[in-house]
Amino acid sequence: MTWPQISFVAEDHKGRIVGYVLAKIEEDSEEKGEPVHGHVNSISVLRSYRRLGLAKKLMLLSQEAMASVYKAEFVSLHVRKSNKAAIGLYRDTLGFEVAKVEKKYYIEILNFALTLEHLEDAFYHQGLEKYRQQDFIDAGHAEWTRGRYEQIAAHERTHGEFISSALTAAGARAVEPCEYEFPDYDVDSFIDVSFALESVGTSAYNGAAAFISNKAYLTVAASILGVEARQAAWINSAVRKSNGWNTAFETPLDMNQVYTMASQFIKSCPSSNPPLPVKAFPKLVIPIAGEGQRVKLSFDAQCQGRLFVAFLSGTGTVFVELDEDRQVRFPTGLIGVVFVIITSDGGKVSDETTVAGPAMVHFPFDSYGTLSYW
């Protein structure tokens, strides 16, 4: 370790490391005509020891050592714009200021969006190869239904081509399509999966908007968002004969939440693809149920202490404590598409508190606002 004086660890009462901060001094500061300054490479605290102030203490120890040992005048670090918890610590608690947004950040966002568009493109084109016009008619759908799906497929391919060209223009490498496995086995299951993909896509672009300050990229994202929302509305109303919208607001999802659901359809991706700044949380499985009903949730994750079920609907979230046997009673008042996440915090959903999920559930309602279960 080159700079041991400015890196620290936190230990529990048994001497086990539960947190650390790794830092360095930028050696080429003088050559660049900059004052001597430090840089934080990495800071981490075990999940069970978070919200105890350890991250703040580690950061302060490192900063004080930089100043006293190396006469550093300031410290820098990189943080993802979507990491709200980290931004709250660095900016709001420790007084850091945002200096600039790295170009690489937008490249990663574009490649993530392209990953979703590749998935949708593959789903529609594979599905339309399997299900012909007569298959839609035999399943009880109007003869024009498949033609609309051909238009949706063309939209998704156009989205992917546009994002790929934007990456090329920026001098970046675009991700290639992956190998997928979709759970459709007939026309109706194809339609159900298409509604889920369009709903998640809408929430993905909605959530990404908060982290895009580049006006050109933001305009494109908003344009695609509008199309994804129109497609979801058409599928659920004209084809599935259900609600064409949910609440007065769409539900925003962050990249890890979206990737958790999208990754369930991805078998493998080319090893040459640029890495994405995302991770998938454990899968959450929820049985079909209505409001007020008690259900058992399934997820492969171990977590000590109390757990909660967060129901994300529009811009609001409802929290219900999860029983020890992993059962929960669905709250009343939820309508339309709702995203469900298992969390360790009964009042906050973040990467740090997420245990499993999200999973998408649908509470269909008729034109009178009455819930209607099939």
pLDDT digits (tens, 9 = 90+) for 29-73: 666 667 888 888 878 888 788 778 888 899 899 889 888 988 888
Q: What is the CA radius of gyration of the chain?
A: 24
Q: What is the CATH number of the domain that holds 41?
A: 3.40.630.30
More confident: 170 or 357: 357
Q: What is the CATH number of the domain that holds 344?
A: 2.60.40
How far is residue 316's CA from residue 321's CA, in Å, rounded to a whole number?
Answer: 17
Rounded percentage of the chain residues whose pLDDT exceeds 90: 60
| C-alpha span between 258 and 245 (Å, rounded) | 20
Q: Are residues 120 and 253 in the same domain?
A: yes
Total Cβ atoms within 10 A of residue 230:
15
| Element (DSSP H or E) covering residue 126 | helix 103-130
In the predicted structure, residue 331 carries a pLDDT above the cut 70: yes
Among 233, 268, 303, residue at a domain's last position: 268
Say what the pLDDT of residue 287 is: 92
Tens of pLDDT along 252-288? 999 999 999 999 999 999 999 999 989 999 999 999 8
Q: Which residues of 74-98 are buried (b: 16+ CB within 10 A; e: fewer)?
A: bbebebbbbbbbbbebbeeeeebee
Could you tell me if residue 98 is inside a domain? no
Q: What's the residue count for the chain? A: 374
Whole-number Å distance between alpha carbons of 112 and 3: 35
pTM: 0.77
Question: What's the domain range around 226?
Answer: 103-268
User: For residue 30, is it within any domain?
Assistant: yes
Based on the structure, what is the number of domains in the chain?
A: 3
Lowest mean pLDDT among 32-41, 177-186, 223-232, 349-358: 32-41
Q: Do 294 and 197 belong together in one domain?
A: no
| Cβ neighbour number for residue 265 with a 10 Å cutoff | 18
Query: Residue 198 sits in a domain of what CATH number?
Result: 1.20.1260.10
What pLDDT is stored for residue 80 in this prediction?
A: 64
Alpha-carbon span 203 to 209, nearest angstrom = 10
In sequence order, what are the residues at sequence separation of 6 or more whose Cβ sits closer than 8 angstroms to the Cβ of residue 37? 25, 26, 29, 66, 72, 73, 74, 75, 76
Per DSSP, 52 falls in state: S
Q: What is the pLDDT of residue 43?
A: 84
Q: Give 102-138 pLDDT, tens digit per residue.
A: 556 678 899 999 999 999 999 999 999 999 999 999 9
The answer to the question of residue 97 being in a domain is no
Residue 278 within any structural domain of the chain: no
Give residue 197's pLDDT.
98
Q: For residue 294, is it within any domain?
A: yes
Question: Is the pLDDT at 248 greater than 80, yes or no?
Answer: yes
307 and 263 fall within a common domain: no
Give the Cα separation of 365 and 79 in Å (integer). Answer: 41
Same domain, 333 and 248: no
Q: At what angle do helices 187-208 and 215-234 cross, to 10 degrees?
A: 150
